[in-house]
């Protein structure tokens, strides 16, 4: 079997699929990317310099797309979360593109997924309270092009949250 390699800057090569050590390193980065390269390397069985090289290679190859802090929405005043199903009047490429462009400008929309099934899109949104949700609902109806119907589901509480991938 021929293994395809991605050639990176400085003539380094990385397999297109991470090996067992890379996967272990990716799991640890997902769990807590704030740790030093020395601590991460020790955890996965690499020297700090080898760990740093692998992290850099994984980043360069696009396996790591960024690092961010996970904020507590409730402590910041966002007490409500909704999942909103959206049906469009048309499923033409132009209609989908227009909707997707417009939804980018609404900061309360945390996620937008194009769906197969009954709804065209599902949005995950956050709001401070019922009044905030009412204003958001009106903005969604008025601002988003081609909306035929909106069906909202309020999340009572999060039962499971996973921010990482099961690698």
Q: Do 155 and 124 contact (CB within 8 A), yes or no?
A: no
Around 165, how many Cα atoms within 13 Å sit in the side-chain half-sphere? Answer: 8
3 state DSSP class of 41: helix
Place 13 in a pLDDT band, splitting at 50, 70 and 90. Answer: low
- Tell me the pLDDT tens digit for each residue of 115-131: 999 999 999 999 999 99
Top-confidence residue, 161 or 87: 87
Average of pLDDT values for 149-155?
96
Tell me the sheet residues that pair with 112: 123
Place 11 in a pLDDT band, splitting at 50, 70 and 90. Answer: low
Q: Which residue has the tokens 């949250």?
A: 161
* Average pLDDT value for the chain: 90
Average of pLDDT values for 89-106?
96
């Amino acid at each position: 079997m021929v293994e395809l390699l991605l050639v990176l800057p400085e003539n380094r090569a990385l397999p297109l699929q991470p090996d067992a050590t890379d996967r272990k390193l990716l799991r640890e980065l997902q769990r807590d990317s704030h740790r030093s390269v020395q601590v991460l390397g020790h955890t996965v069985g690499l020297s700090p310099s080898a760990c740093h090289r692998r992290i850099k290679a994984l980043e360069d190859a696009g396996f790591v797309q960024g690092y961010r802090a996970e904020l507590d929405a409730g402590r910041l005043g966002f007490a409500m979360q909704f999942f909103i199903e959206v049906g469009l009047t048309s499923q033409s490429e132009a209609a989908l593109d227009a909707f997707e462009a417009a939804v980018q400008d609404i900061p309360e929309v945390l996620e937008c997924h194009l769906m197969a099934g009954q709804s065209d899109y599902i949005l995950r949104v956050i709001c401070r309270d019922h009044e905030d949700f009412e204003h958001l609902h009106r903005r969604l109806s008025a601002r988003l092009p081609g909306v035929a119907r909106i069906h909202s589901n309020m999340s009572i509480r999060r039962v499971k949250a996973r921010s990482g991938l099961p690698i």
